[in-house]
Chains A and B, each alone.
Chain A
Amino acid sequence: MPFAAVNLDGVTTMSGFLLVLSIMTPVVGALVAFAAGGRNVRRVAFATLPLGFAVAAAIALALRQGGPLVYLLGGWSPPLGVALRADGLSAVMMLTTAVVVCAVALFAGTDFQVPAAEVETRAPFAFWILLLAVWAALNTVFVAGDLFTLYVALELLTFAAMPLVCLDGRGETFQAALRYLVFALLGSILYLVGTGLIYGVYGTLDISLLSQRMQAEPATLIAAALMTVGLLAKTALFPLHLWLPPAHAGAPAAGSAVLSALVVKGSFFIVIRIWFDVMPALPGVAAAQLLGGLGAAAIVVGSIVALRQERLKLLIAYSTLAQIGYLFLMFPLAFRPDTGRIERGGALAGGLLQAISHATAKAAMFMAAGLIYAALGRDRIAGLGGIARAAPMSVIAFAIAGLALIGVPPSGANLAKELLLQAASETGQWWWGLVIQAGGFFTSAYLWLVLIHAFAPADEPVELRATAASGREAATLVLALCSLLLGLFPWGPYLPLPPEASASSLSLEALPKALLPIAGGAVLAILLGRWSDRLVSLSYGKTTAALVGPVRQAALALGGLVERIDGGLRQWPAAGLSLLTLALLFGAAMLAAA
């Protein structure tokens, strides 16, 4: 049982010091950069990157040789002391974080450097320190062994991520950052209330001790509901997403990549820790179905609203919203009716693989969008015509990242989809299978929308404002390729894969299955997307238009309705009320299961 939280007595394992290093490396980097200032900030950051990557790789290697890594701070064992622990899940998430952070840093290298005439400017100074701080906070989330350390890590993550939103100092980005900060604080204080209640009942916050002691008592259930909902607010699961679109779309490209790819995964990872490790027996079937249902709603609403966006970055931000929904489909699939518990298995592996695929693909997408914006000076989707010829590498990187996200073999998303579908059929929950397939269709729909516009001929000759440095394009392309090839990585030692998984995804028979979402997505894109007259006349003739017209009118009306619902839910009072309602619903569902 390499994945169960063992080491109950708590002993520091041989490679345990690596866990401390994984947190300390970026922290020391950030502090030294802060003290050095000026041009040295970027140098220190670049010096820290390989070190941090090496630590993450060393942890992954050490885990291969067996057992979770444990480090007891000060040699005190829980419940009095605080333990750091890393299992397979932590290792893969740390490795993903290291890869994405390094790629983003290479991409941002020229964006955030101090101009020749200046000694120190605000944006580069802040960006590099914040990047390292986000990295440190994420690593803390992944190795934290008790609920309170998780709370501190969660807050550090928010504090480091929030300023990335308003790096370029435009008025509306300050508003986006403030909305993000205040809503995230609301989420984390609910988590803290839950932590207090759990300590009151069990006298410990250590995850492995709690996993043995947890019982369905009213105080525990209230705590579980509050913590879950607080974390959902920080992860921006529909309908608690009021802060995400403006924040992720308003940040500079490198900032958006970090926020969308990594930061939301931090709180998502804590939901996994709590549901799978702390209280696998508590949620019960109703709460798991509720969580999956929110995910399904996020996929539908996020995708439809994404198809109606006019700006590329907002489209990608809404796509993140939909993909976050995809991540939560694993909870109902991991629930075993026979034992009444959430079990580690194929569903967990699938969900985590989806998170990793999304992290790499979405970072690449935001970086490609940044390159396109830098080349054109605008990012209106309708104005993308001709960009595929003018900046081919950026568009190719965007397309590859999109394909990886749809789940074309051998991408990680493909493996994830197979694992989730398998779990759905094993547990007899066919409806989640449908949602998983629909998610792929929607993803390909907005990829189509962007690519058709990008490959369309230009209205006027495209004038590039700047040619991208080849290093930036290479970083984007490598990250996109990385996401496309994730399915080939040996996940076995880290994730609880069922034995028969993998390998099947590479055969030729899998090809039609992979192409189906691409074809279906084209139909969805035609029906729900925004198209200009010119593109319509280019893409299909009058007779087709007469046939498609009425259906498209209905689809557009539906899209408009969904967009209005989304707009309504993104108002403060509505989001606050949904938060409280969800807390009540989760509490009631868990009480019913107890």
Chain B
Amino acid sequence: MSSATVFGVCGAVVIGLGLYGLITSPQPLRKIVAFNLVGSGTFLIFGVVARRGAVAGLGSDPAPQALVITGIVVAFSATALAVALLLRFFQATGSATLRASAPPSTASDTSPG
């Protein structure tokens, strides 16, 4: 098993863990952390992809590294934005749940006749 495979599997596992947290955890802050976990796994996979460029005689392929740097900047801004929004949400309402508020109201619908 080559080191690229090991890192690739690690990346996949980290993405899986993050997805699990993102879907099951009810708390927004944990969702944001879980999103960052998925992001880390993704960047690891980009790293593996860059390493595989070595097969073509290069030390490693620089393009995926440039992509990862951009990706990190985007993920960082997304996290900052989400945390700021979460804080504001908490200040405004005193709660921080993402559960859909009360189901669409069931006001009486009168049938004809």
Chain A interfacial positions (CB closer than 8 Å to B): 80, 148, 151-152, 155, 159, 162, 166, 169-172, 174-175, 177-179, 181-182, 185-186, 189, 192-193, 195-197, 199-200, 203, 242, 246, 305, 308-310, 314, 530-533, 536, 540, 542, 545-546, 548-549, 552-553, 556, 563, 567, 570-573, 576-577, 579-580
Contact = CB atoms under 8 A, between A and B. Distances in A.
B85 interface: yes
A155 B103 contact: no
A563 B22 contact: no
Given A171-B89, A200-B49, A310 B112 contact: no
Contacts of A552: 111-112
A576 B92 contact: no
Contact of B81 (A159, A203, A309, A310): A159
Contacts of A563: 104
Which 7 pairs across A and B sit closest by C-beta, in order of nearness? A576-B23, A174-B89, A171-B93, A200-B49, A545-B112, A545-B113, A549-B113
B88 A174 contact: yes
Contacts of A148: 67, 70
A536 B109 CA distance: 12
A567 B89 contact: no
Contact of A181 (B19, B75, B81, B111): B81
Contacts of A203: 53, 61
A148 B66 CA distance: 11
Contacts of B78: 155, 159, 181, 185
B50 to A, nearest CB: 9
A152 B70 contact: yes
Nearest to B28: A178
Given A152-B74, A162-B81, A193-B15, A178 B89 contact: yes
B26 interface: yes
Given A182-B32, A189-B35, A567 B100 contact: yes
A151 B112 CA distance: 52
B35 A572 contact: no
B111 A182 contact: no
Nearest to B39: A189
Given A175-B101, A182-B28, A552-B111, A577 B74 contact: no
B22 A576 contact: yes
B42 A199 contact: no
B85 A177 contact: yes
B95 to A, nearest CB: 9
Nearest to A571: B100
A138 B112 CA distance: 48
Could you say which of B35, B100, B103 has the most chain A C-beta atoms within 10 Å of its C-beta?
A: B100
A553 B111 contact: yes
Given A531-B110, A548-B113, 18 more contacts: A159-B77, A159-B78, A166-B88, A175-B93, A178-B85, A178-B89, A182-B28, A186-B38, A189-B42, A192-B71, A196-B42, A200-B48, A203-B61, A533-B110, A542-B113, A567-B104, A572-B26, A576-B19
Contacts of B28: 178, 182
A203 B26 CA distance: 39
Contacts of A197: 45, 49
A178 B63 CA distance: 33
B86 interface: yes
Interface string B51-72: 0110000000101100100110
B80 to A, nearest CB: 10
A580 B19 contact: yes
A536 B112 contact: yes
28 contacts: A155-B78, A159-B78, A159-B81, A166-B88, A169-B92, A174-B85, A181-B78, A181-B81, A181-B82, A182-B31, A185-B35, A189-B35, A189-B39, A189-B75, A192-B42, A195-B67, A196-B45, A196-B49, A203-B53, A309-B104, A310-B107, A533-B110, A536-B112, A545-B112, A548-B112, A549-B113, A552-B111, A572-B98
B85 A199 contact: no
B24 interface: yes
A178 B110 contact: no
B23 A178 contact: no
Nearest to A204: B63
B104 A179 contact: no
Nearest to B56: A203
A540 B113 CA distance: 10
B14 to A, nearest CB: 11
Contacts of A553: 111
B105 interface: yes
Contacts of B107: 310
B109 A530 contact: yes
Contacts of B32: 182
A552 B39 CA distance: 50
A303 B11 CA distance: 41
Contact of B113 (A179, A310, A546): A546
A172 B23 contact: no
Contacts of B113: 542, 545-546, 548-549
B111 A171 contact: no
Interface string B3-38: 000000000000100010011101010011001001
A159 B105 CA distance: 31
Nearest to A80: B63
